Amino acid sequence: MKYYVAIIHCVLLVSTSAFSFSIISSEGKSLKWQDNEVEYYINERGSDDFVNGFDSNGEAISEFDIINNSFKTWQDVAGTNLNVVYEGLTSIAETKIDKKNVIFWVEQGWTSLDFHPPRGALAVTISSFDLKNGKILDADILLNGEYFKWAHIDADAETLMVDVQNTTTHEIGHLFGLDHSSNDPFEDNESIRTATMYYATNPGITDGRSLEVDDILGLKHLYAKNVDQIPIPTIDGITPASGDNSSFVVLTTQGGKNFAETSLLRLVPHEDGLSDVIAKEVSVDGGEITSLFDLRGVKIGIYDVVVANAYGKEAKLEKAFEVKGNPNVYYNRSKVSYVDGGGCGLLNSGHESNASWIMILTLLCFGIFVRRHVNSQKP
């Protein structure tokens, strides 16, 4: 068995809906907790920026309660089957495949961690999963306490600090198997830009504490309640049948039916070791799905087209799409070297006078993908 470490949504429609949630998927397997139950621990030390339940402003709930509230935000989503269990505090303060999911602050030695995150990386989520079935086996969230000040933002004096709940709610989305709703810094779709799983935010911002429609649809896709009642979609074809790896392409299904509000298209490569290409935006209109794919940097080759209403409720067109273009322009989204490992951080936008910083949550942020192989003879 191979364990991979990756850093890193049902009602039929008769009218148009548009959304942009994304899942973490590799070699045709969506990452999720197979038994729909997640147990987690919080390191007993907490954050150095909190003392006896108070942040630097003197009034706040404890960082432990904040993290618990972040998990509760996801668990409370209606129409999902997900059981989250808090197992209490632990002395564990390292990431490893021990089937104990731990959230902890790293107060010293951040850049000396095994995957060498830069000092500007705000947080890292590392999930271990079985590539054969996409089952998540272990997930840890590391928060950078060495280079950032953390708080429960509730006062003007804290607007340059990082809000714990804003960050952990986003990170927990990755822990459940969700990717960024968009990585576009110029995103003009407000519903996408305001999603908790959108890749960017600012210090002092707390909007990410609550979920938006795209976040909710993503969770429903992976952990749908009454999944047996969700139909399996069908598609006869897609158009166009190819696209260039230097641009975007809009794919439209042909001859389809049984689509749902949580339907999602992805391209599955025929080469091992590559992650799937997930649709950036999806519009469902009766028996037709229109999806926008970002093919920039995608490896040329033949891909299956998969449409899924929910986890396990999918149809596949084998070898239905070809990525053309420059064979030398290729970025393996599922494999990032330790040297290039990221995390999420605050990037100075050049306006120091008004402290305008942007939190960059790209593919290397709030979701590092570092592939680690562990060989085992276990069944």
Q: Are the CB atoms for 129 and 136 separated by under 8 Å?
A: yes
Q: Summarize pLDDT for 207-264 with one digit per residue, the tens.
A: 999 999 999 999 999 999 999 999 999 999 999 999 999 999 999 999 999 999 999 9
At 330 the pLDDT is 65
What is the fold of 227-324? Immunoglobulin-like (2.60.40)
SS3 237: strand
Q: Sorting pLDDT into bands at 50, 70 and 90, what band is 17?
A: low
Q: Summarize pLDDT for 65-94 with one digit per residue, the tens.
A: 999 999 999 999 999 999 999 999 999 999
Q: Sorting pLDDT into bands at 50, 70 and 90, what band is 331?
A: low
The answer, yes or no, to whether residue 348 has pLDDT greater than 80, is no
At 187 the pLDDT is 83
Burial environment of residue 112 by CB neighbours within 10 A (0 to 12, 13 to 18, 19 or more):
exposed
CA angle 157, 150, 198 (to 5 degrees): 100
The answer, yes or no, to whether residue 369 has pLDDT greater than 60, is no
The answer, yes or no, to whether residue 352 has pLDDT greater than 50, is no
Kindly list the domain boundaries of the chain, sorted by start residue: 2-10+21-225+332-375, 227-324
Residue with tokens 């951040």: 110
The answer, yes or no, to whether residue 174 has pLDDT greater than 50, is yes
The answer, yes or no, to whether residue 364 has pLDDT greater than 60, is no
The answer, yes or no, to whether residue 294 has pLDDT greater than 80, is yes
Ramachandran region, residue 79 (left: φ > 0; alpha: ψ -120 to 50; beta: rest): left
The answer, yes or no, to whether residue 280 has pLDDT greater than 80, is yes
Q: Tell me which amino acid residue 59 is.
A: E
SS3 124: strand
CA dihedral 258→190→66→361, nearest 10 degrees, is 90
In Å, what is the CA distance from 168 to each residue of 204, 356, 369? Answer: 14, 22, 18
Q: Summarize pLDDT for 98-129 with one digit per residue, the tens.
A: 999 999 999 999 999 988 888 877 888 999 98
Give the β-pairing of 301-310 and 150-151.
unpaired
At 135 the pLDDT is 92
Contacts of 194 (CB under 8 A, 6+ apart): 207, 212
pTM confidence score:
0.85
The answer, yes or no, to whether residue 345 has pLDDT greater than 70, is no
Let me know if domain 2-10+21-225+332-375 sits in CATH 3.40.720.10: no
At 136 the pLDDT is 94
At 349 the pLDDT is 32
What is the C-alpha separation between 34 and 223, in angstroms, rounded?
9
Give the residue with greater pLDDT, 186 vs 313: 313
In Å, what is the CA distance from 95 to each residue of 43, 113, 139, 163, 236? Answer: 12, 10, 8, 23, 44
